[in-house]
Amino acid sequence: MKPFYQIALFFFLLFASGGNSLFGQIDVVYVKSISYEGLKKTKISAVKRYMNIKEGDSISLAVLMNKLEENSRNILNSKLFSKVELKILEWQEANVSIQLKVVEAWYVFPIPIFELADRNFNVWWKDFNRDISRVNSGIAVYWRNLAGYNDRLTFIAQFGFTRKFEIDYEMPPIGKNQRFGATFNILYSDNKESVFNSIDNKLVFYSDLNSRQRQFTRFRTGLTFRYRKSVYSNHYLELNYQKLGISDSIFFRNPDFFLGDRRTQRFFTLNYDYEFDKRDVWTYPLDGYFISVNLKKRGLGIFNDINQLWLGSRVSFYKKFAKRWSIGLLTEGRYSFFKHKDPFYQQEALGYDDSFVRGYQYYVVNGQHYFFFRTDLNFKIFDFKVPLSQKEKSPFFHELPIRIHSRIHGDYGYVWDKYYYIGNKLSNAHMYSGGLGLDFTFYNYNILVQLEYTINRLLQKDVYLTVKANF
Question: Residue 5 has what pLDDT?
Answer: 45
- DSSP-assigned letters across all residues of 101-170: EEEEPP-EEEEEEEEESSSSHHHHHHTTTT-TTSEEEEEEEEEETSSSSS-EEEEEEEESSEEEEEEEEE
Q: How far apart are CA 9 and CA 7, in angstroms?
A: 5
Report residues of the chain scoring pLDDT below 50. 1-23
Question: Residue 1 has what pLDDT?
Answer: 42
CA distances from 221 to 187, 189, 384 (A): 6, 12, 44
- DSSP-assigned letters across all residues of 396-427: HHHEEEEEEEEEEEEEEEEEE-SSS-TT-TTT
End-to-end CA distance of the chain: 27
Domain borders along the chain are 4-103, 108-469
Domains 4-103 and 108-469 belong to one CATH topology: no
User: Burial of 414 by CB count in 10 Å (0-12 exposed, 13-18 middle, 19+ buried)?
Assistant: buried
Question: Residue 336 has what pLDDT?
Answer: 96
- pTM for this entry: 0.78
* pLDDT tens readout for residues 189-226: 998 888 999 999 999 989 887 777 889 999 999 999 99
Question: Residue 131 has what pLDDT?
Answer: 60
Whose CA is closest to 70, among 271, 278, 268?
278
**DSSP E strands, 175-298:** 180-191, 193-199, 202-207, 216-228, 233-246, 264-277, 288-298
Query: Would strands 325-336 and 369-387 be described as parallel, antiparallel, or unpaired?
Result: antiparallel
Whose CA is closest to 118, among 127, 107, 109?
127
* pLDDT tens readout for residues 359-402: 999 899 999 999 999 999 999 999 888 887 666 555 556 678 89
**Which residues have a Cβ under 8 Å from the Cβ of 139 and sit 6 or more positions away?**
110, 111, 112, 113, 156, 157
Give the right CATH number for 108-469 from 3.60.20.10, 3.40.640.10, 2.40.160.50, 3.40.50.2300: 2.40.160.50
CATH class of the 4-103 domain in this structure = alpha beta
Helix (H, G, I), strand (E, B) or coil at 67: helix
Strand partners, 171: 182
Question: Residue 332 has what pLDDT?
Answer: 98
